[in-house]
Amino acid sequence: MPESPLLPLVLRVPGFLLGISVHEYAHARMAYALGDDTAHRQGRMTLEPWAHIDPIGALMLIVTGFGWARPVPVDPFRLRSPRRDMAKVAFAGPFANLVTAFILQVITILIFSFLHLRGTYWVYLPDILDTAAWVNASLAFFNLIPIPPLDGWHILELYIPGGAYAVSEFLERYGFVILLLLVASGIVGVIIGPLVTGYMNLCRLAGLYLSFLFRPVRY
């Protein structure tokens, strides 16, 4: 029986829900650790995906592989060192996605190595986990693009000199439009694609190494 053309989209949904949950929870947890409990008070320091979904970002991520969630509220004036700590909060989200992608990819390799799921109800489990790993990696690298409102911009702001105020103001005002144009033109895919593929190849190598490590030696 031929596979439905909607199958890739369906397989992305669990990865998307996990990805935005991990991403936004990491932002909220880091902000909380650095002194700002705004996200915690608003119920955003949770792994519950429905608390973080942005409809447009969800559609973009499922259809194109690049998207975003509803940003976690952070009050920089409640942080101990606003400029530096905002960069830490921003980086926490992509970093959490990279760790999640690594874990999911390793688990996928181990399942392929040690379990036989064909003909069972779990036959799509490796595909779901593998797709979720790729979605998390894509979400991480996409959000590291240094254009507002993405996390990469808040990280870059730490290193922008005060004299570049005009550039910062322009990007803050038009960054979202620029980002949409870059996604629509395919430029984002050209830039992010090799980074995601390279990272996932490293994750696969780690999974293969572990599968050989745990595979019993037969004499």
Positions marked active-site? 24
Structure tokens at 133: 């790993």
Burial label, 192 (beta-carbon count in 10 A; 0-12, 13-18, 19+): buried
According to the 3-state scheme, what is the secondary structure of the chain?
CCCCCCHHHHHHHHHHHHHHHHHHHHHHHHHHHCCCCHHHHCCCCCCCHHHCCCHHHHHHHHHHCCCCCCCCCCCHHHCCCHHHHHHHHHHHHHHHHHHHHHHHHHHHHHHHHHCCCCCCCCCCHHHHHHHHHHHHHHHHHHHCCCCCCCHHHHHHHHHCCHHHHHHHHHHHHHHHHHHHHHHHHCHHHHHHHHHHHHHHHHHHHHHHHHHHHHCCCCC
